[in-house]
Structure 1
Amino acid sequence: MPLPRLGVVIVTMGTRPQELEALLASVEKQDVRAARVVLIGNATPLTDVDVAANVTKVPLAENLGCPGGRNVGLEMLRESGEVDVVLELDDDGLLIRDDVFRTVQRLFAADPRLGITGFRVADEHGRTERRWVPRLRAGDPMRRGPVTAFLGGGHAFSMPMLKEVGLWPAEFFFGHEESDLAWRALDAGWKILYEPELVLQHPATSPARHPVYYRFTARNRVWLARRRLPALLIPVYLGVWISLTLARIRSLAGLTAWWGGFAEGVRTPCGSRNPMKWRTVWRMTRLGRPPIL
């Protein structure tokens, strides 16, 4: 089977110029060249960003959020017809090895039903936090295998998979968009692989640093349940996460924002409902993470 042609999508708000420059340099240093690289500027003109010849800059007048901005890049690559597998990388990430693209090609060439490959995220000291390992038993970040989730910071998608299941849920804007896409992929019979040899170096910052974190986390979790879960599992899923949230959040302001987002998720439109099949629920359970956690 021929090796797939690669594309890259990076979204930036222009607030991390040094990190972005280093990431673009690490993309250029790969021992396999990407056919197309698309740099999306979410509400930033990108005028001060120097890029290689194969990089297309797309400044957006409006901040579409991470999933909305990535969709712009994915649609460009899909329309070009030049890409079979696309990598998406956070603008403050870094590829520390030069064989990442070659490994991605090999993985997707070996399995035509591989839909998503998730990278291992590690900080500058090589440490991988538990929350970065896409499984419940997260003690060993080097354990490779099939999973039910992936990290948005570094991953690769099959273009045929995206054609079948659709792009990111842009309306989520920030938070849980990975779960929505992963559940759709699994429900369509695609595989998700966690490959720890694919490393994206990333600072160990807390997602709660974003002012909208608690609100969007709660709202999007409700939307996710309403969109993708069988009716019987919706109250179970939300009940579990209410309990976990009450146990974890110590800030009154954070808890207030979370409950506001939860109420917003209940009362506002969540997009089209297409619940997963019960066989997908069982498949996810066998993989170690039933869709109630």
Structure 2
Amino acid sequence: MRHPRVGVAVLTMGTRPAELAALLESVAQQDTAAARVVVVGNGSPLPALPDRVTGVELPENLGVSGGRNAALAALRDFGDVDVVVDLDDDGLLISPDVFTRLVELYGSDPRLGVVSFRIADERGRTQRRHVPRLRAADPMRGGLVTTFLGGGHALSMRMLEETGDWPEPFFYAHEETDLAWRALDAGWKVRYEPELVLRHPWTSPTRHAVFHRMVARNRVWLAKRHLPAPLVPVYLGLWIALTVARTRSATGLRAWFGGFAEGLRTPCPPRRPMRWTTVWRMTRLGRPPIV
């Protein structure tokens, strides 16, 4: 991929028109212009969009996964995008060279599948949960990792042709890990680049009403879809212990166990266990697929 062409995908529910306008302006100010920009109204009408921005209005909210797949479909229809950049609608690109750096990264490594941005607030702080590695004390330490951040990242379209798109049944939570595990098992690289920054307000994941239920349900689905059979009880047992230790809300804990039970009793095919060589590769990268 000598000169990869960048496309941009943004999901919105129509509640942040000012933030969306600022984000699109920061995209337009990039030194390397995006070939396409698609904004998906996820079950909501879209505001007026700048010229050369394509709007897609979905009749219902399909969640993060479904909305991003709708954006991918629109970009594929154009046929001139090699790398898609997903950005949160309340984020902001604060440097004009983000796409230039992405073109360099993808142009120099044909097996680079995912590039994860660093998420930082207005004061430059990065939350520990936004560092895609277990040792999260230093958010400036980049390199190869085993998952990536949903708020700002880039995906190789060639990789997606091989791995498939976002897991629509997930709706919200762990969809990035599902895609990252598929990418790693297919031999693609996932890289965290802390110099590529998306400014984003400091938030808590529990602001979403369905957080606890979907986090638990989708974690069970991850295990059922991707882990070798001996690792499934290890992974789920460890996350039960971690959740009980960390969750301070009895209501949240009840919702979590309700979601866990939902994940156990409902299927989320296909089941394609990763190879043991992938398990070892992830272990060497610092995060075996049990935590």
Normalised to the residue count of structure 1, the TM-score between the two structures is 0.98
**CA deviation profile, 1:227-274 (whole Å, cap 9, x unmatched):** 000000000000000000000111111011001000000001112100
Kindly state the Cα deviation for residue 79 of structure 1 after the two structures are TM-superposed: 2.7
Structure 1 residue 272 corresponds to structure 2 residue 270: yes
Corresponding position of 1:180: 178
Contact 2:174 2:218 in 1 (8 A): yes
The one-letter amino acid paired with 1:217 is V
- 1:60 and 2:54 correspond: no
Partner deviation per Cα, 1:118-157 (whole Å, 9 max, x = no partner): 0000011001111110000111111111000100000000
Alignment of 1:209 with 2:214, yes or no, is: no
Aligned to 2:132: 134
Matching residue of 1:151: 149
Which position in structure 1 is the counterpart of 2:236?
238
Secondary structure in 2 matching 1:243 = helix
- Give 1:19 deviation, angstroms: 1.1
Q: Does 1:103 align with 2:91?
A: no
User: Which of 154, 162, 187 is the aligned partner of 1:164?
Assistant: 162
1:257 corresponding residue in structure 2: 255
Distance in 2 separating the partners of 1:216 and 1:229:
19
For 1:89, what is the secondary structure of its paired residue?
strand
Match of 1:118 among 101, 105, 116: 116
User: 4+ residue runs of structure 1 moved beyond 6 angstroms?
Assistant: none
Q: CA deviation at 1:45?
A: 1.2
Secondary structure of 2:134 counterpart? coil
User: Residue 230 of structure 2 aligns to a residue in which SS?
Assistant: helix
Unpaired runs of at least 5, structure 2: none
CA distance in 2, matches of 1:144, 1:249: 29
SS in 2 for 1:231: coil
Q: What amino acid is aligned across from residue 218 of structure 2 in structure 1? A: N
Amino acid aligned to 1:33: A
Aligned-partner SS, 2:260: helix
Residue type of the alignment partner of 1:5: R
Q: Which residue matches 2:10?
A: 10
Identity of aligned residues (%): 67
> 1: distance between equivalents of 2:3 and 2:120?
27
Alpha-carbon distance between aligned partners in 2 of 1:52 and 1:164, rounded to the nearest angstrom: 33
Q: What is the rounded CA distance, in whole Å, between the counterparts of 1:187 and 1:133 in structure 2?
A: 21
Partners of 2:23 and 2:269 in 1: how far apart?
34
Contact 1:216 1:261 in 2 (8 A): yes
Instruction: Find the aligned partners of 1:156 and 1:268 in 2 and give their Cα distance.
Output: 31
Paired amino acid for 2:246: R
Report the alpha carbon displacement of residue 50 of structure 1 after superposing the two structures with TM.
2.8
Corresponding residue number in structure 2 for 1:227: 225
Please name the residue that 1:78 is paired with: 76
2: CA distance, partners of 1:39 / 1:123: 23
Offset of residue 53 of structure 1: 2.0
Match of 1:37 in 2: 37
Amino acid at match of 2:208: H
Q: Is the 8 A contact 2:116 2:148 kept in 1?
A: yes
- How many angstroms apart in 2 are the aligned matches of 1:199 and 1:221? 27
